[in-house]
Amino acid sequence: MSETAPDTLPILYSFRRCPYAMRARMGLLASGTRVELREVLLRDKPQAMLDISPKGTVPVLQLQDGTVLGESIDIMRWALERHDPQGWLRHRQAACTIIEQIDGPFKHHLDRYKYHTRYENADPEFHRAEALGILQRLNMRLSEHGQLLGSQPTISDYASFPFIRQLANHDRSWFDALPLEALQKWLAGHLASDTFKTIMHKYGQWHAGAAPVTFPAITA
């Protein structure tokens, strides 16, 4: 890939461990889109990011023409609509339905299971059981062909697995003991992939005026 000067690239505000930012980085990576990456700490958000996206969530992508994309799915779609060599945008409608399930009910139960003290009257056992119901349905899909919508992963797999990872990591022995072999295999496969390794490269916190760094990272 030819080198582009960092100051001509779109700017991605990202946080390494955020599942939404992970999916955005994967979409950018799969589409071959190089960006200037600005690593954000959620407790110390840069003013430059808040100026363009006052809601204060990551990821945020600022395009060269000034357009701001403040939703992870929009960043994935923008990148993949430009270039989608692996066909992540196949089965668009079905993928959309799965992603809505993850971003809606699954995320709702995940937060109330994992961070139950932040919610009044949240019973973590109840929310884990509800999340498990969703995992069981995903497992049925995965048992058929290995990925959510067939034998090749689509945007639905990449948009989902960072959230399943979060749930799995909260109580690894519980997750590993579930009779959901296809789901466990699918998650392990994505976590071991070059795609995931590449997007989990560590960047130091960005500060205004710092020398630009690019994503994907340039490794010798």
Which residues are near ligand GSH by CB under 6 A? 15, 18-20, 42, 56-59, 71-73
Closer residue to ligand GSH, CB minimum distance, 42 or 218: 42
* Dist. CA 116–CA 60, nearest whole Å: 27
* Dist. CA 178–CA 79, nearest whole Å: 35
Closer residue to ligand GSH, CB minimum distance, 50 or 140: 50
Closer residue to ligand GSH, CB minimum distance, 4 or 97: 97
153 φ/ψ sector (left φ>0, alpha ψ -120 to 50, else beta): beta
Closer residue to ligand GSH, CB minimum distance, 23 or 139: 23
Smallest separation, CB 19 to ligand GSH (Å)? 6
Smallest separation, CB 155 to ligand GSH (Å)? 13
Smallest separation, CB 72 to ligand GSH (Å)? 4
CB 204 within 8 A of CB 14: no
Give the strand pairing for 214-215 and 60-62: unpaired
Smallest separation, CB 56 to ligand GSH (Å)? 6
CB 159 within 8 A of CB 99: yes
Tell me if the bond preceding 216 is cis, omega within 30° of 0.
yes
